[in-house]
Structure 1
């Protein structure tokens, strides 16, 4: 932005509320005014380290007064430097405010949120939320799978690329992959909304909801907590491609799947401690042979 002001310490004096009435009135009518107000509001609302914007600008002002010989040069760049400093600080804290938790292959972690709610994150999954917005909006973004124990309070939202879940206080599991969205309620009541489906459902204890390739499914279960938290992953009439994705996330392996029908359904479970046993448990009943092409790549062929 071009500097329309003759005084290079203009922004510093504005932050210190040292402008005279005429300067203040003219500045508030300018196009730049609202831009700086927006930046300052962002900084004030976000949780940031100990940073005193007035002190920084006072330092700039004092240095300018101590070095009058470079006044002509500073007049040209100070306005831009001050504006850039504000913008960079505002943008840094605006974007850096997001807290991210992620798991690796075969890893699980437990996360305590700001309100005391608890999230158990399954392997190769990611959870994000903004601390500054938490009091006004309890919202998290999930990639992968997680089990939630939500404290009662304001509306709690789990956003995913395939759908969202809204609750007040309950326990539930969410599993989201490409073209796949599954919610199982263990306690309380949740609303599940699939992005690729116009249907939304209210789930109570033991109710489950799934949207897979735009096909909506509902069923009931007696499971109170997901078995993956205890070292075993369980599937109920689940598309094979989701089962394979689970194996990849758990054991850090990949599959050649072009010779099989990944839309076939599987009901059963596999143990996290033994990859060979897991492969037998899933593929032998489905009459699919598996061959290790190398240590981490497996070729699947229909028998």
Structure 2
């Protein structure tokens, strides 16, 4: 029988398919990726078969006690009853096919095909728990994901990710700014969702930022950046992608200190307007500003500080900017001198 004629039960019994799911290599990855592309109508069946195989242990010899058989059967029945209630009518067929396929496996156990099948529901559920790491203004955070990827989260930012990665991809969602040192795994790509944009990497280090403008600055490796409109752009080391609010893309070379300095506690102003300076200070130190007066339209400031106090930074800016300030707890009063 050809693969295009396979049903779920056939995939569950096929050694080459099981090998791809359990121990993928270059040969099986290439074959099944091409096959699924050529047979898109089989994609749903493939996904169901993969999920079932990933959740059981295949062993060589058969031996199953009656009480073990009953326990497995009842566990499966309970699981799919619960899922059917939680799903809508559009998903009914999918859950029904899962139930039929798993019951088929249980029947095979009694015939000696499989032994000691252990549904890893608890483990999968634990991996799929969603974790949110959030930094407030004036705070930064460093942590490591379950796959070994290092994340540096800038102030006023948020990263949403599963407790553990499960399946054929690693996916996180970023709000704000973060630097990633992605653990290399060519078989399981790493995705970062940023607004309507998506960054795909295998093993690399890069900075992603999204507030008014979306930027990706690549340090090592290679990334692919796309959006919901189907745009795709590849970046090489030292290249930065800039996407404006209206969706316009551009690529440029970037200054590592200016773009990545925040990770090493460098506070950098580069010809910034007055409102941009206050916005950076607000996120960096977690303070609020009350401003009296207004600066000239052409006002700008350039300067670099590392691990400096708010007072020292304001003192440096005020020397060339003709304003006075007063720090009172988390509030800063600035008076623009006429």
**TM-score range, shorter-chain basis?**
0.5 to 0.7
Report the Cα offset of residue 174 of structure 1: 1.4
Give, in whole Å, the separation in 2 of the partners of 1:161 and 1:18.
39
Point out the structure with the larger strand share: 1
Structure 2 counterpart of 1:6: none
How far does the alpha carbon of each residue in 1:10-42 deviate from its partner, in whole angstroms, 9 at most, with x for none?
xx9x836899xxxxxxxxxxx8x949959x99x
Match 2:305 to one of 240, 259, 270:
270
Task: Classify the secondary structure of the residue corresponding to 2:151.
Answer: strand
CA contact under 8 A between 2:138 and 2:282: conserved in structure 1? no
How far does the alpha carbon of each residue in 1:68-108 deviate from its partner, in whole angstroms, 9 at most, with x for none?
xxxxxxxxxxxxxxxxxxxxxxxxx97xx102222344333
Task: Classify the secondary structure of the residue corresponding to 1:245.
Answer: helix
Task: Classify the secondary structure of the residue corresponding to 1:226.
Answer: helix
Distance 1:123 1:226, change over 3 A: same
Point out the structure with the larger helix share: 2
Count, aligned residues: 232
RMSD: 4.5
TM-score norm. by structure 2 comes to 0.53
Match 1:219 to one of 252, 268, 282:
252
Report the Cα offset of residue 275 of structure 1: 0.5
Report the Cα offset of residue 148 of structure 1: 0.7
Is it true that 1:181 corresponds to 2:214 in the alignment?
yes
Distance 1:133 1:229, change over 3 A: closer
Report the Cα offset of residue 213 of structure 1: 4.0
Structure 1 counterpart of 2:74: 15
Structure 2 counterpart of 1:172: 206
Report the Cα offset of residue 291 of structure 1: 3.2
CA contact under 8 A between 2:240 and 2:254: conserved in structure 1? yes
Structure 1 counterpart of 2:233: 201
1:228-247 matches, within 5 Å, as: 228-236=262-270, 241-247=275-281
Gaps of 5+ in 2: 1-70, 79-88, 103-119
TM-score norm. by structure 1 comes to 0.58
Distance 1:170 1:256, change over 3 A: same
Give, in whole Å, the separation in 2 of the partners of 1:126 and 1:219.
26
Distance 1:277 1:212, change over 3 A: farther
Is it true that 1:289 corresponds to 2:323 in the alignment?
yes
Distance 1:16 1:241, change over 3 A: same
Distance 1:132 1:295, change over 3 A: closer
